[in-house]
Structure 1
Amino acid sequence: MIQTTGLLKVIKLNKTFTFNPKEGIDNPVLMISDDTESVSAPMPRLCALKRQEGESFGFHLRVERGRCGHVIRKLTAWGVAERSGLRDGDRLLEVNESFVDDIPHVEVARRILLSGNQLCLLVMDGEEYDQAVSQGLDLRSLARNHRGEDCQQPRMCHITRDTATGLGINFVPVEGQKGRFTVNLVSGGSAHKAGVFQGDHLVWMNGANVSELTNSALSKMVMKCKDHMTILVIDSESEKSYVRRRMPILPAMVGAHNLPHTPQRLHLVLGSKGYGFLLRQEKTPSGKIVHVMRGLDRDSPAEKAGLQEGDILLEVNRDPVESLEHGDIVDRVRQSGQVVTLTCITAQGLHFYTQLGLCPLLFCGSDPKENEGNKMVPPKPVRVEAPEEVPSVSSQRLCVLQKGPLGFGFNLGCDPQTPGTFISQVVLGGSGHRAGLKEGDLVIEVNGQGMEDKYIEDVIMLVKEGGHFLSLLVMEKSDSSEQKNTQQTTEAETEKYDSQKKEAEELLFL
């Protein structure tokens, strides 16, 4: 019934709504919703980065106090990383399909550096990552579920011709799809023995991606392979997973492989007459400058470790040396102390990888002892804090560092309630670790200049201005009586310290 009073229209509803528990609710205006919010599982994101020659990926990788995992920071505006979907604060789970959340930061950065110009990162939003860690979720399982349980790694296979069956392989184009070829094998032939399976899809041959090749062009490539070929293949079901995720298949993702040449990582113990080898800078026939092992002494530490005359040096203490000057490499070896770790490859091996356009360090032979050492428990969150003031005898140490591809290998920290700057973290195996830096060390001098009364930004500035070499005078934890009396930090100074602390939590970057 409707009544009108002037400009006001009054609507009366003659029919009232009554609830009958037997019949339920039939009022179309009334909706009942569940108050409990559905909690979805954290969802990792895949970011495929591709840079141009000489261009950076446009992000920093950091380890931060108070946070677990490897943190993505300082993305370049409109850079490669930002365009690919990386966000500030993301946590890194996988690098090129390899789970990295539980391995040392320096090794994660190393894998990124060795990836070349293409890189696939599996990341998780920072808040979702913290939530997953607090709930005890298995991050490795989350990463595996993202790509699918049945997804297998691509395989790089080196095929050598034999007299009976030749290479034992041919390639059949997929009808209507340019650049897609399936593998047809000779049973028991060379390709089969090299790890290729019937029905595999061809991704890459002798350093060239086949996705843009016609059948005629591929046939010409095969004809040029006289005695051997190196191919990258994947089974068809796993390939579907990569296609679904819009993920490129890269040589850096390969699993088990049977390549004819692999770099070797050797540990040399200093003897009474040194390590027993000479390092010379030489030029290869292609014009590339390399650093070659010469003049190995009989029964020397070098010979006992397995070095061979003419081996080419790739790393010193797991730091690549390709971009270093010869003198810098010699200094690194001399500064290694009682033990030095050298990664080397034969001249034939280097030529093999150069022809394929690959970095040989991607395929370095594994060291069982090193693998055991890398089985680390993920770090628990800790607060950024100054060294505890406990009674002890203070001792000062002079630590001389040489900058490597990953920086000096330590982090700085500060606290508004405590004067000075301290070493908040030392990267295992980095330059700082080898020089003797310890977590909690107070920074007394940087390159001879006193730092006890300086702000942390002054310390950072001197560290950066020092170039490739750094001299740090540090002091172990000392009791409070040895500390200088300082006035109470003002609120403004506290805010300044907070901003400086955030800026200086990590000096290692890509």
Structure 2
Amino acid sequence: MKQTEGFEGDKASIIKFEFNPKDGIDNPALSLAEDIDGEAVGEPRFYLLSKGSTETFGFCLHEELGCRGHVIRQVEVGGLAQRRGLQDGDRLLQVNGLFVDHMEHHRVVQKIKASGNQVLLAVLDGDSYEAAKALGRDLSQMLPADIRPRLCHITRDKSGFGFSVSGPEGVKGTFQLSVRQDGPAERAGVPSGSWLLELNGHSVRSCSHTQLARKLKQSGSKVTLLVASGPVEEFYRLRGLQVTAALADTSWLPFKVRELHMVKGDAGYGFLLKEDDYGSGAVGQFLWDIDAGLPAEQAGMKEGDRVLAVNGESIEGLDHQETVLRIRAHKEQVTLLVIDPASDAFYRSIGLSPLLFLDDGDPALGSCTPSLPSPSDSPGLCHIDVGPKGSGSWLMTAANSITITQSPRREEQRRLRHAF
């Protein structure tokens, strides 16, 4: 067994997914029928996995030598994935409605990790996957073109938010939106005729029309809506799946993460990394004391930015020392993914990680860094060369053997600062 450095060139990688304590819908597999010109190619299957505080998703995701695609392995007997119907050898095609078969493996892993307590997966059985590849099929064409709801943030003008709400009299939670042409809602990406699912991060399924109107009024000058077009709403409704913001298309949002690529100068990068609290007891790594004219300022770094990823790897959950090690891993250059305070506050307000919404066009997770110890509250990650006999039981042992570095005590954390 050989443990490699980083994702690039890995023959296999494996991750065990952990869970947050929230309720969700526990649905069986749901499939989308497709006629593939009469060939012996099966149908994609959809699974909405919702975890509890004491569960794991119950599977591992592999990239294997001589085996194409992102491979579902080690489905735990009696675990959540097996109960829903995931099978050993299935190939993962979609995560939260986003096609991932063409993505680098570590980016797919990151998307599942960022999903938190609930993830929507589309898979194809291994034989059908290999048959489709052999026939030169475009696997993305086997899936619906767009099954993502849309997350939109609206700032009202003098005439209001630019939309009106209608619904059946006396029926709770069914609200359709009419959007004024060239109004704030249309400019924010709300499609006319779409269905309202969440308001400011909260479901409207139990709201009456009067209650919804009151909540809109209490929103002040800004409101965030999760909406679904008719076809998207129908897709989930017919399959008994709950639509949540974790599945959303966020391309219309004004809140973005930024990539900062820096090459170290004679005086260093020119910034200070500081660990501090940023709400609800969470601890993050922040950028301060940016020196004028040095690489950090030239790359667009702003004071108060929070670091999300270093050299393509998420640092959410890592302590200060581990983050410093990742920055130092490439001695002469570093790429940081950061978010400004206003954008950070928005994602916290809806209870989601901004890393969840990085699609294949985003620059965030493309580069690699040598493997470093995992934080004590996140899943173990291991990169392994699979031998001719396959992974075997030693694979899980390897994944669980990573050294854990304990975070410093809370009273010490605010004093952690490191200049670069």
Query: TM-score, normalization: structure 2?
Result: 0.78
State the AA in 2 paired with 1:321. I
1:411 aligns with 2:405: no
Shift of 1:370: 7.3
Answer yes or no: is 1:245 the counterpart of 2:239: yes
1:348 matched residue in structure 2: 342
On the 8 A contact 2:170/2:208 being kept in 1, the answer is no
Cα offset, 1:258, TM superposition: 2.6
Post-superposition offset of 1:286: 4.7
- Return closer, same or farther for 1:460/1:355 CA change in 2, 3 Å cut-off: closer
Structure 1's 88 and 174: CA in aligned 2 closer, same or farther, altered over 3 A? farther
5+ long unaligned stretches in structure 2: 1-37, 406-420
| Per-residue deviation, 1:285 | 5.6
> In structure 2, how many angstroms separate the alpha carbons of the residues matched to 1:141 and 1:366?
17
C-alpha spacing 1:228/1:365, structure 2 compared with 1 (3 Å): farther
Task: Give the Cα separation in 1 of the matches to 2:44 and 2:338.
Answer: 37
User: Residue 5 of structure 2 aligns with which residue?
Assistant: none
- Tell me which residue corresponds to 2:249: 255
Q: Say whether the 8 Å CA contact 1:264–1:364 is kept in structure 2.
A: no
Q: Deviations over 1:148-178 (max 9, x none)?
A: x5x5632211110112x11122322235653
Partner of 1:162: 157
Q: C-alpha deviations, 1:57-84, integer Å up to 9, x for none?
A: 1110011222111111112222221222
Q: What are the Cα deviations for residues 107-145 of structure 1, in whole angstroms up to 9, with x where unaligned?
A: 0101111112111111011112122222222211112xx
Deviations 1:334-378 (A, max 9, x none): 12222211111112221121111121223459867779x79xxxx
CA contact (8 A) 2:197 2:225 kept: yes
Residue of structure 2 equivalent to 1:80: 80
Which has the greater radius of gyration? 1
Aligned to 1:69: 69
The 5 Å alignment of 1:180-199 reads 180-199=174-193
Name the residue aligned to 1:235: 229
Which residue, out of 271, 290, 301, partners 2:295? 301
Deviations 1:407-446 (A, max 9, x none): 5653224458xxxxxxx99xxxxxxxxxxxxxxxxxxxxx
Q: 1:360 maps to what in 2?
A: 354
Task: Give the secondary structure class of the aligned counterpart of 2:68.
Answer: coil
Alpha carbons 1:106, 1:406 under 8 Å: kept:
no
Q: Distance in 2 between matches of 1:466 and 1:125?
A: 31
- 1:222 aligns to what SS in structure 2? helix
Please say which of residues 460-469 and 195-204 is displaced more in the overlay.
460-469
Distance across 2 between alignment mates of 1:295 and 1:343: 18
Distance 2:316 2:71 in 1: 27
Q: Output the CA distance in 1 between the equivalents of 2:122 and 2:76.
A: 19
Structure 1 pair 365–227 and aligned structure 2 pair: CA distance change class (3 A): farther
Say which SS state the counterpart of residue 47 (structure 1) adopts.
Answer: strand
Structure 1 residues 225 and 408: alpha-carbon distance in aligned structure 2, compared to 1, 3 A threshold: closer
Contact 1:120 1:247 in 2 (8 A): no
Instruction: Describe the SS at the equivalent of 2:338.
Output: strand
- 1:54 positional shift: 5.6
Is the CA contact 1:182–1:199 (under 8 Å) kept in the aligned structure 2?
yes
Rounded to whole Å, the distance in 1 between the matches of 2:88 and 2:121 is: 14
Query: SS at the partner of 2:212?
Result: helix
Alignment size in residue pairs: 364
| Counterpart for residue 225 of structure 1 | 219
Q: Secondary structure at the match of 1:402?
A: coil
TM-score normalised by length of structure 1: 0.65
* Amino acid in structure 1 at the alignment position of 2:155: T
Aligned residues of 2:322 and 2:373 also touching (Cα < 8 A): no
Q: Distance in 1 between matches of 2:79 and 2:393?
A: 27
Shift of 1:401: 4.0
One-letter code aligned to 2:154: I
| Structure 1 unmatched ranges of 5 or more | 1-37, 375-398, 417-423, 426-455, 470-510
Which residue does the alignment assign to 1:274?
268
CA distance in 2, matches of 1:460, 1:72: 14
In 2 relative to 1, CA 138–280 (structure 1 residues): closer, same or farther, beyond 3 Å? Answer: same
Q: Tell me the SS of whatever aligns to 1:156.
A: strand
Structure 2 counterpart of 1:73, one-letter code: R
* CA deviation after TM superposition for structure 1 residue 189, in Å: 2.1
Counterpart of 1:317, as a letter, is: N
How many percent identity over aligned positions? Answer: 35
Q: Cα distance 1:336–1:60, how it changes in 2: closer, same or farther (>3 A)?
A: same
Partner of 2:311: 317
**What is the alpha-carbon distance in structure 1 between the residues aligned to residue 65 and residue 242 of structure 2?**
34
